[in-house]
């Protein structure tokens, strides 16, 4: 059996493009509403002001795109290598992605909605209140990346935590738009990679030399 396998045709999870859009937009709206509530009661500066603070917008976009592309390349490479490739389906969110055939529209809307809403909530609204490290801990935990079964599970969790910390400092040093751009590019490239090149085998599957 080869080390990687192609995605099966159709959507094995039974999730349609319309359902994915509703789920994506629904979660995005919830995140934005929470962010607005946090800004209403715990921040002195309006969210709109924070959105455009930092470096010039074009500089932020360039830095964010570069950060997202490099992060996607590193995470994608490690995720396809043992021992991470052998346990990656144990993470619910990753298993869902690996078992779903996303259209180009799916990949695009999910990347943009998640990138915008999650960064506005976690980096823009939560991080100024509790700091980079606690925000990243919450972010990674809510995404289900902390499993302490084996060193490989821990490795993936630490990798995603490091990525989140990187987004946190990108927000501090460059601005919220940079973090949003990086998140969008990262998500889109990894979804594109799964679509084009297939997915890692399940744990305990025999791997070719």
Cβ count near 153 (within 10 Å): 19
Instruction: Supply the pLDDT for residue 1.
Output: 36
Instruction: Supply the pLDDT for residue 13.
Output: 55
DSSP letters of 14-73? ---HHHHHHHHHHHHHHHHHHHHHHHHHH-SS-HHHHHT-SS-HHHHHHHHHHHHHHHHH
Does 12 have pLDDT greater than 70? no
Domains of the chain, by residue range, sit at: 4-200
Instruction: Supply the pLDDT for residue 14.
Output: 61
Instruction: Supply the pLDDT for residue 205.
Output: 41
Instruction: Supply the pLDDT for residue 15.
Output: 81
Does 4 have pLDDT greater than 70? no
The C-alpha atoms of residue 172 and residue 124 are separated, in whole angstroms, by: 10
Percent of the chain's residues with pLDDT above 70: 88
- The mean of the pLDDT values for the chain is 89
Mean pLDDT of 130-134: 98
* CA distance readout (Å), 58 to 54, 158, 198: 11, 31, 34
The string of pLDDT tens digits covering residues 85-115 is: 999 989 998 888 888 889 999 999 999 999 9
Mean pLDDT of 134-162: 95
Helix (H) or strand (E) segment spanning residue 147:
none
Does 72 have pLDDT greater than 60? yes
Does 187 have pLDDT greater than 60? yes
Residue 181 sits at the vertex; the CA angle it makes with 132 and 37, to the nearest 5 degrees, is 55
Mean pLDDT of 192-209: 61
Q: pTM of the prediction?
A: 0.89
* CA distance readout (Å), 51 to 8, 18, 27, 39, 90: 40, 30, 20, 12, 36
The string of pLDDT tens digits covering residues 14-32 is: 688 999 999 999 999 999 9
* CA distance readout (Å), 72 to 25, 31, 57, 109, 186: 23, 23, 22, 18, 5
Most confident of 12-26, 167-181, 192-206: 167-181
Mean pLDDT of 60-88: 95
DSSP 88: G
């Amino acid at each position: 059996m080869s080390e990687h396998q192609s995605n099966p045709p159709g959507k094995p999870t039974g999730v349609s493009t319309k359902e994915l859009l509703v789920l994506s937009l629904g979660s995005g709206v919830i995140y934005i509403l929470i962010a607005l509530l946090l800004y209403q009661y715990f921040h002195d500066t309006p969210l709109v002001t924070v959105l455009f603070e930092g470096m010039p917008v074009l500089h932020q976009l360039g830095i964010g795109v570069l950060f997202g592309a490099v992060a996607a390349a590193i995470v994608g490479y490690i995720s396809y290598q043992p021992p991470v490739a052998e346990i990656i389906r144990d993470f619910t969110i990753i298993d869902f992605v690996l078992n779903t055939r996303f259209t180009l529209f799916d990949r695009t809307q999910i990347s943009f909605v998640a990138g915008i809403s999650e960064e506005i909530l976690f980096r823009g609204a939560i991080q100024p209140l509790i700091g980079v490290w606690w925000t990243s801990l919450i972010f990674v935990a809510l995404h289900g990346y902390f499993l302490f079964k084996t060193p490989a599970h821990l490795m993936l969790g630490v990798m995603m935590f490091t990525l989140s910390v990187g987004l946190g400092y990108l927000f501090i040093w460059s601005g919220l738009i940079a973090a949003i751009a990086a998140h969008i590019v990262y998500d889109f490239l990894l979804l594109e990679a799964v679509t084009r090149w297939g997915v890692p085998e399940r744990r305990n599957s025999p791997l070719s030399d």
